[in-house]
A and B are shown apart, each in its own frame.
Chain A
Amino acid sequence: MSEINLELNKVSKRFGGNQAVDHVSFSVTKPELIGMIGPNGAGKTTLTNLMSGMLKPSSGAIYLNGRRIDGHPAYHVTRAGLGRTFQITRALGRMTVMENMLVPGLAHNPGARRPTLVARAHEILSLLTIDHLTNELSRALSGGQRKLLELGRLLMLDPSVIILDEPFAGVHPRLQDTISNYIHRVHDSGKAIIFISHNMGAVFELSQRLIVLHHGAVIADGEPQVVKSDPAVIDAYLGHDEDD
């Protein structure tokens, strides 16, 4: 089991005058299933981008397994062991599903032999029920299948921490089950998962720990049942939810 130690220390991000993420600190030290929720515009996606190296924090520091990763390019962060998916799926459209799987496989493990990687990719794809699409161009996949492919690509990287940005959004209920199944299996294999979702049912069902963001700041962090009854969360978060 690989080492897990993600630590955010007062991470902030400012866009012009807008404080998108405001002194966020938390740490992940064991294979947990963490739900991250918050109303629209709470800074969830920005925080994901900061952690994965797509954006550079205005201040604060992020450490992964003892190495400082904030401000490092995304590929650096990925290789350090933090994988992510995107809210709007970003499949590599004109490449086949297998090629989509091989890109992270080879990037993570340049010396690997192709047949080994292909076998591994097949294994992952069949877990995700899309193994029959191996030679299909990924742009021809349906929305849910693309989500599955993105999840599959992450496993090729063998990260210690995985961030899933809205894994359930716009996916058929039956495929959502496949995704939940995936999350459980990945978690069982000893990885920490942070997943962002609007689907409250799934969040409360899956997560062991809940982080609530509001106006870019963490307003609650703890066990789901405790957080659920936190008045600040009900005030800030659930009050907003009526707008959606």
Chain B
Amino acid sequence: MMALFRRFETAIDNGIGRRRLSYLLIALIIAFFLWFPNDTSQSNYAKTVFISGFFYAIMSSSWALLAGIAGQFSFGHMAFMGIGAYVAGLIARDGITFALLGINITPESISAIGSIIIGTIAAGAVGLVIGWLLLRLRAAYLALFTIAFSELFRIMMLTEYDYTGGSNGLSLRPLLQIADVNVARQVEYYLMFALLIVCLLGLYWVANSPIGLFLRAMREDEDAASALGVNVVRYKILVFVFTSMIVGCAGAIFYSDVGSERIIPEQLEILQMSLIIAYAVIGGMESLIGAAAGAFISRYLLEAMRQVVITLPFGMTTADGSDAFVWDTGFWRFALFGVVMVFTLRYMRNGLLYPIITWFSGRDIAMKETVAIRESDDEHAARLETDDE
């Protein structure tokens, strides 16, 4: 088996090369997602699963930028998403008046897109404040503070039912008004997929720009980064604002009757947040595409595992005479998911998709090469001696 893989590997390396193969694969994946809703055999339900998969992929990959690349362990990601959705919903329903600035937005004057933009800005503004407050806190303290923040927000949304609808949730203004359910689902699907692609491009752009380099330097050692001239205050706040705006926007769009018709406070629970974290961990926290793929695949598998049907071989039958063993997994699939997460953390810190991603990027070759040139101080000195001669 391994030998076969090695031969395949050499063939690829000598042939089109791994990079090009990975581009090909990405193109194929995108083509698949573009084709998928046109497959008439697929139900609307499958499309809905995909839509929510895209949504969670956005959540997880932006969390990966925040936690994996910038090292800010925030548990408030869902809350920022909620801020985007709630603000968009409240603006579209009640409007807003800033007497001071002479701004008066009435529900009639604002479109769904306008409300989404305002929701996004609101999430970014709260991200700014929270990012500033968090400057002094590190690691576990930061995690605790963001838990407190997100719980406070959830409780407020639950309790102020006069405004937010309480546990019944809040309906946002529908973004699309298409009468035909099938067409509507199709448009929603493409919209969410496009949003995912845009978000991923944005996240990649940040991660590969100097900002991404500075964020990683901060994650490694804040003091050292600062001594090297990195404005840690600015970039820490910036990453909070940026990711908050992404999830705020995604939340506002998703709940504008695209993926779900209303936002409910239950969505803001820590348990929901823990799902985002679990997806990112399983896919690979330090890789944006890994986290996104982890979220999508996990989401899909969790749906697919709702009912596990094992067809018994050799004509065997179960006690009640059927030839298949049916198991309604219920919450067991999440429990299993928890086990996977814990073991991934312990034994595959970089996520289950890490070997695949490194293989395609060719980084494993580079790693093997660099391991070969590692040396101790003594070896280094000895080499310099021989060079001198």
Query: Quick one: CB contact mask for B362-382 with A, threshold 8 Å, 1 for yes?
Result: 000010011101111110111
B216 and A95 contact, CB distance less than 8 A: yes
B58 CB-CB contact with A under 8 Å: no
Name the contact of B384 in the complex, choosing from A54, A78, A94, A129 (C-beta under 8 A).
A129
Q: Total interface residues on A, using CB and 8 Å?
A: 44
B221 and A90 contact, CB distance less than 8 A: yes
State A143–B381 Cα separation when bound (angstroms): 12
Q: Total interface residues on B, using CB and 8 Å?
A: 33
Query: Quick one: CB contact mask for A73-106 with B, threshold 8 Å, 1 for yes?
Result: 1110011000110100011111100010011101
Task: Report A-chain residues with C-beta under 8 Å of the C-beta of B374.
Answer: 136, 140
State A75–B224 Cα separation when bound (angstroms): 10
State A108–B229 Cα separation when bound (angstroms): 6
Interface residues of A in 89-139 (CB under 8 A from B): 90-95, 99, 102-104, 106-108, 110, 129, 132-133, 135-137
Name the contact of B377 in the complex, choosing from A99, A140, A175 (C-beta under 8 A).
A175
Task: Report A-chain residues with C-beta under 8 Å of the C-beta of B226.
Answer: 53-54, 73-75, 78
A95 and B377 contact, CB distance less than 8 A: no
Name the contact of A133 in the complex, choosing from B217, B224, B231, B373 (C-beta under 8 A).
B373
B229 and A144 contact, CB distance less than 8 A: no
B384 and A107 contact, CB distance less than 8 A: no
Given contacts A99-B213, A102-B213, A172-B377, contact A107 B230 (CB under 8 A): yes
A175 and B228 contact, CB distance less than 8 A: no
A73 and B377 contact, CB distance less than 8 A: no
State A23–B252 Cα separation when bound (angstroms): 58
**Would you give the shortest CB distance from B239 to chain A, in whole angstroms?**
16
B380 and A142 contact, CB distance less than 8 A: yes
Name the contact of A104 in the complex, choosing from B229, B371, B382 (C-beta under 8 A).
B229
A54 and B227 contact, CB distance less than 8 A: yes
B224 and A78 contact, CB distance less than 8 A: no
Name the contact of B214 in the complex, choosing from A91, A106, A132, A153 (C-beta under 8 A).
A106
A129 and B380 contact, CB distance less than 8 A: yes
Nearest A residue (CB) for B230: A107
A143 and B229 contact, CB distance less than 8 A: no
Name the contact of A90 in the complex, choosing from B223, B370, B378, B380 (C-beta under 8 A).
B223
B230 and A103 contact, CB distance less than 8 A: yes
**Would you give the shortest CB distance from A228 to chain B, in whole angstroms?**
30
Chain B contact residues, majority secondary structure: helix
State A150–B385 Cα separation when bound (angstroms): 22
**Would you give the shortest CB distance from B324 to chain A, in whole angstroms?**
48
State A90–B227 Cα separation when bound (angstroms): 10
Given contacts A73-B233, A79-B229, A142-B376, contact A172 B224 (CB under 8 A): no
A135 and B366 contact, CB distance less than 8 A: yes
B213 and A106 contact, CB distance less than 8 A: yes
A107 and B233 contact, CB distance less than 8 A: no
B275 CB-CB contact with A under 8 Å: no
Task: Report A-chain residues with C-beta under 8 Å of the C-beta of B220.
Answer: 92-95
State A103–B377 Cα separation when bound (angstroms): 25
B217 and A103 contact, CB distance less than 8 A: yes
B232 CB-CB contact with A under 8 Å: yes
A145 CB-CB contact with B under 8 Å: yes
Nearest A residue (CB) for B216: A95
Q: List 12 A-B contacts (CB under 8 A).
A: A52-B227, A74-B226, A75-B228, A75-B230, A93-B220, A103-B225, A135-B369, A142-B380, A144-B380, A145-B380, A171-B377, A172-B377
Which 8 pairs of residues, A with B, have the shortest CB-CB distance? A174-B381, A107-B229, A90-B224, A92-B220, A74-B226, A144-B377, A172-B377, A78-B229
Beyond A78-B228, A102-B210, A136-B370, 10 additional contacts (C-beta under 8 Å) are A54-B227, A73-B226, A74-B226, A75-B227, A132-B373, A135-B366, A145-B380, A174-B382, A175-B384, A178-B384
